[in-house]
Amino acid sequence: MENETDTGTEDSREVLEDVSSTNTLATAEYERAILSGTVYSRILTFDDPHYFSASLKVEYWWAGDGTVLYGYARQYRAANNGRSGGDITFAVRGTSGQSWERLLTDSAVQDGKWHDIDGGGSVGSPLRLGELYFKFIFDVDNGPDPWQSILVRIVNPPAITPIAEPLEWRQALTITGVATGTVTLTMQSEVGEAIAGVFSASGATRIFTPTAGWTPPGQQKFKVVQLVNGIASPPSALVTLKVRPMRPVITPITQPIEGRQTLTIRAVEQGPVTLTMLTGAGGTVLGDFTGTGATRTFTPAAAWAPPGEQTFKVVQTVGGVPSDSSELVTLKVKPPKPTITPISQSIEGRHALTITGVAAGTVTLTMLTDAGGTVAGT
């Protein structure tokens, strides 16, 4: 059970101590937790019609890989009866047997409004479980003062170990800060949708492997929650993971090719996607991708070059995350058609001819008769 409440009456009061316990270490840990988004707020409240209502706003966070629990009271509110002598006791308890418990004030204003208050401390909690306790003694003008208390059990949120490189298809994630006991872990998207998968290993560190590949591609945020003995933790801090798009495919075509022959690209991701055609060495091939859906058409801006056997590949990028390049495709690029420069006069002997439009690089030229026979020469 997460919450427990209690009520009663009493004539005696606790002795008020100095509870200005915020120290340099607590401040540093608080700032660290604020920056990482792991300071959590709870309102501890009770509203018993036979007694009175009161609430305490509390902030808590974990340090030391989830084995130290900090808890601080920030504001309180009590039902209005025109008096200002209420007692507020606050406690933070850990699984180490340690407990920080103090009377924060013996002059709480009972006017139904929120008032600032400050007091709290830290305790060891090696099992990554803890308790927050709030007790209010209501100041009345006659008879014994009634009191109520509430105990809230809390669980340290686990953490996802960040991965710098884009995730592969079913790449596993490491989860740390798992509590001791009967634990159920759930991987979730940023909006809280459960990600199907398996948590393996034991102890404070677990491994999550998704059932299917990580989707959708691009930069996505994930979180993890643990349920311990029926008590749910807050979600972990969101971790942004780069989900790699699937590898696109260039459809083979009849060879050789010439001019601005188009290529068909398959396995294109849904949504906004940027496709880039590359040479085998990684140079960009200028051109346009047209079409929609999983199949696109690439038309080069200029004729394929240079002539001969060339390799090409394509990459798709989603949300700033590039896919692996497609398998290399070898295209046989037909050389340009050469031209014999016409001559006006009749020729005789071994008159030379000028050939233009010859491709760059290592080229073999063959002179032929109209019928296709080879004309020997250099």
- The span from the CA of 303 to the CA of 246, in Å, is 29
Hey, what are 182's tokens?
A: 């009967």
Cα-flanking dihedrals φ and ψ of residue 127, to 5°?
-90, 0
Hey, what are 120's tokens?
A: 């709290």
Listed residue (112, 153, 158, 151) closest to 129, CA to CA:
153
- The span from the CA of 185 to the CA of 183, in Å, is 6
pTM (predicted TM-score): 0.72
- The span from the CA of 288 to the CA of 276, in Å, is 9
Question: Residue holding tokens 């749910």?
Answer: 232
**What number does CATH give the domain 249-333?**
2.60.40
Domain 3-155 has CATH 2.60.40: yes
Question: Residue holding tokens 């030229």?
Answer: 365
Q: E strand or H helix at 256, and its extent?
A: none
Residues of the chain within CATH 2.60.40.10 domain(s) are 159-243
Per-residue pLDDT 10s for the chain (378 aa) are 566 666 655 544 444 444 344 567 788 888 988 888 889 999 999 887 767 899 999 999 999 888 999 999 999 999 999 999 999 999 999 988 899 999 999 999 999 999 999 999 999 999 999 999 999 999 998 888 999 999 999 999 999 999 888 888 889 999 999 998 889 999 999 999 999 999 998 899 999 999 998 888 999 999 999 999 899 999 998 999 999 999 999 999 999 998 899 999 999 999 999 999 999 999 999 999 999 999 999 999 999 888 889 999 999 999 999 999 999 999 998 888 899 999 888 888 888 999 998 888 888 999 999 998 999 999
- The span from the CA of 168 to the CA of 341, in Å, is 58
Instruction: Write out the DSSP string of 180-230.
Output: SSSEEEEEEETT-PBPPEEEES-TT-EEEEESS---SSEEEEEEEEEEETT
Contact of 64 with 74, CB cutoff 8 Å:
no
Contact of 214 with 241, CB cutoff 8 Å:
yes
- The span from the CA of 56 to the CA of 114, in Å, is 9
Contact of 336 with 357, CB cutoff 8 Å:
yes
Q: Reduced to 3 states, what is the DSSP secondary structure of residue 258?
A: coil
- The span from the CA of 2 to the CA of 86, in Å, is 26
Contacts of 214 (CB under 8 A, 6+ apart): 167, 169, 170, 171, 220, 241, 243
CB burial of 9-44 (b: ≥16 within 10 Å; e: otherwise) equals eeeeeeeeeebeeeeeebeebbeebeeeebbbebeb
Burial of 152: CB neighbours in 10 Å, binned 0-12, 13-18, 19+: buried
Instruction: Tell me 50's DSSP state.
Output: T
Listed residue (237, 83, 103, 84) closest to 160, CA to CA:
237
Q: Reduced to 3 states, what is the DSSP secondary structure of residue 375?
A: strand
- The fold of 159-243 is Immunoglobulin-like (2.60.40)
